[in-house]
Structure 1
Amino acid sequence: MSAAVDTIPSVDAGSISISQHGRVETRHPTSEAIRELDEKQGRLYEGPCISALNDPPTAGSWWAQDLAGPDGERWPRFAPEAVEAGYRGLMSTTLSTDGGLRAALNLYSAAPNAFSEHCRTMAGLFGVQATLLLYGASQVALLQKAVDSRDLIAQAKGILMERFKVDDEAAFQILVKSSQETNVKLTTVAHWLTTDRSPAASPDGHAA
């Protein structure tokens, strides 16, 4: 983020906003003031950032050349907050990602009329870079979740094998059957089993 702010002319601050599961979160803000402004956009559900998040991934950028002027009328509740914080311009570029994740690169300017065509082109290039980084991070998170789930299920199978003197496949089938009968995810059943301290029941329902 600091590279974009340092490189793009007239940009004074920046951040990345991510929308997932109905929540808007701020990542890598260049200052606490920017974090607060991004959070205000999220609370008001209004501003260039929100417009960019709600656009299709190929929509490009939303920008306000002067939030104290006519541009601010598009976001009447957020614009005065940004101006009071010392920012007249804001450009948000939609980032294309997978897995239900929506994101935007936000660039703030203290001066009005700061975003030339050259600035917008450079913002698009940094947007591509940010998209690649986000995609890589999301893939790592998915892989880590898969590894954690595998380890959790392995622990649960180990407990069942020890308690009921069954093999690996039989232990797994007990987990699957419990998941199906309770309509609970397999990983949730495994988590319950690995943290439960109540007396165990045998597969036929009797206390062990």
Structure 2
Amino acid sequence: MDNEEMLRCLRVAARELASKRSIRDLQLTLAHIVEAAVETIPPVEAGGISLTEDGGVTSQHPTSEAVRELDGLQSRLQEGPCITAMIDPPEDGIVVALDLGGKDAERWPGFAPTAVEMGLRSLMSTQLSSEGGPRAALNLYAAEPEAFDAEARLMAGLFGVQVAMLLYGAEQARHLQQAVDSRDLIGQAKGILMERFALDDDGAFRMLVRSSKDTNMKLVEVARWLHDEATQKAAVPEEGPPAR
């Protein structure tokens, strides 16, 4: 294994990670990290990311159709190294199937035979989830049994740290944007109340808070309702005087 090449790939991925801003950039960087892991870790022949979305597990950036199918199978069965890495990982966060055609077949009896049929007998899944964030795993496949030694596991862990940092950053950015959007929505709702009822800023905010308590709705939901109601009202043209 070429350590200099490994470090080069990690540095390139880190620079990309730090420079990306949009969702499209995020997805491109994730794809590049998966590709770099497949190219840099010698036994690995294919890879991808499993991510929980809307109650299911989706396959993100698979490098082959076989990976997409196997990720989908694990999602349907709720069984396999990827699922174990996301839901019940060991202390180091890395789940290794040394031989899906041998002893590991008993651990994942529904998943293992299909993986072997597709020519992939070793699988290494690295947990990517941070506490409170979406559950995810970096999955690396190899054709030969017992393909992953200690060095390969270390490499997978390093790539996994990069993906985890990227997902964590994206999740924090999402929460921050939600907070900004909520603040803007509440500000617009206060403006509507100030105009309608000749209130000052403090009085309009107290009215929102009281409405939130009376309706048992979150403050931002009350603000959204008020904003939508005002928008709909403004869209309806006022009736002019009757024609003579």
TM-score bracket relative to the smaller structure: 0.7 to 0.9
TM-score, normalising length from structure 1? 0.84
1:61 corresponds to 2:94: yes
Q: Alpha-carbon deviation of 1:40?
A: 2.0
Q: Which moved more, 1:76-85 or 1:121-130?
A: 76-85
Q: Is this contact kept in 1: 2:133–2:171, CA < 8 A?
A: no
What does 1:37-186 correspond to in 2, within 5 Å? 37-55=70-88, 58-186=91-219
Deviation at residue 7 of structure 1 after TM alignment:
0.7
Please state how far the C-alpha of 1:27 moved relative to its aligned partner.
2.9
Alpha carbons 2:133, 2:168 under 8 Å: kept: no
- Equivalent residue for 1:204? none
> Conserved in 1, the CA contact under 8 Å of 2:127 and 2:160?
yes
SS at match of 1:16: strand
Is residue 20–residue 100 contact of structure 1 (8 Å, CA) maintained in 2?
no
Q: Deviation at 1:107?
A: 0.8
Bigger Cα displacement from structure 2, 87-96 vs 12-21? 12-21
SS at match of 1:74: coil
Unaligned runs of 5+ in 2: 1-33, 235-244
Amino acid at match of 1:93: T
Deviations, residues 142-192 of structure 1 (Å, cap 9, x unaligned):
111111111121222222222222122222222211211222112222222
Residues 4 and 195 of structure 1: CA distance in aligned 2, closer, same or farther (over 3 Å): same
Alpha-carbon deviations, 1:42-78, whole Å to 9, x = none?
A: 2211000111112358442111122122212211111
Amino acid at match of 2:178: K
How far residue 198 of structure 1 moved from its aligned partner, in angstroms, is 6.4
For 2:65 and 2:148, how far apart are their aligned partners in 1? 23
- Mapped to 2, the partners of 1:190 and 1:173 lie a distance apart of 12
Aligned in 2, Cα 1:150/1:27: closer, same or farther, shift over 3 Å?
A: farther
Contact 1:8 1:119 in 2 (8 A): yes
Find the aligned partners of 2:196 and 2:207 in 1 and give their Cα distance. Answer: 12
The aligned residue for residue 195 of structure 1 is 228
Describe the shift of the 1:139–1:63 C-alpha distance in structure 2 as closer, same or farther (beyond 3 A).
Answer: same
Q: Give the letter aligned to residue 116 of structure 2.
A: V
CA distance in 1, matches of 2:202, 2:68: 50
Identity of aligned residues (%): 62
**Equivalent position amino acid for 2:68 in 1:** R
CA distance in 2, matches of 1:124, 1:116: 12
Write the letter of the residue equivalent to 1:78. Answer: F
Question: RMSD of aligned C-alpha atoms?
Answer: 2.3
Task: Name which of structure 1's ranges 99-108 and 52-61 shifts more when overlaid on structure 2.
Answer: 52-61
Q: Which amino acid aligns with 1:53?
A: M
* Secondary structure at the counterpart of residue 96 of structure 2: strand
Contact 2:86–2:129 (8 Å) recurs in 1: no
Amino acid at match of 1:136: G
Alignment match, 1:10: 43
Aligned pair count reads 199
Could you say if the C-alpha distance between residues 116 and 22 of structure 1 is closer, same or farther in structure 2, counting changes exceeding 3 Å?
Answer: same
* Higher relative helix content: 2
Shift of residue 101, structure 1, vs aligned partner:
3.1
Deviation at 1:123, TM superposition (A): 0.7
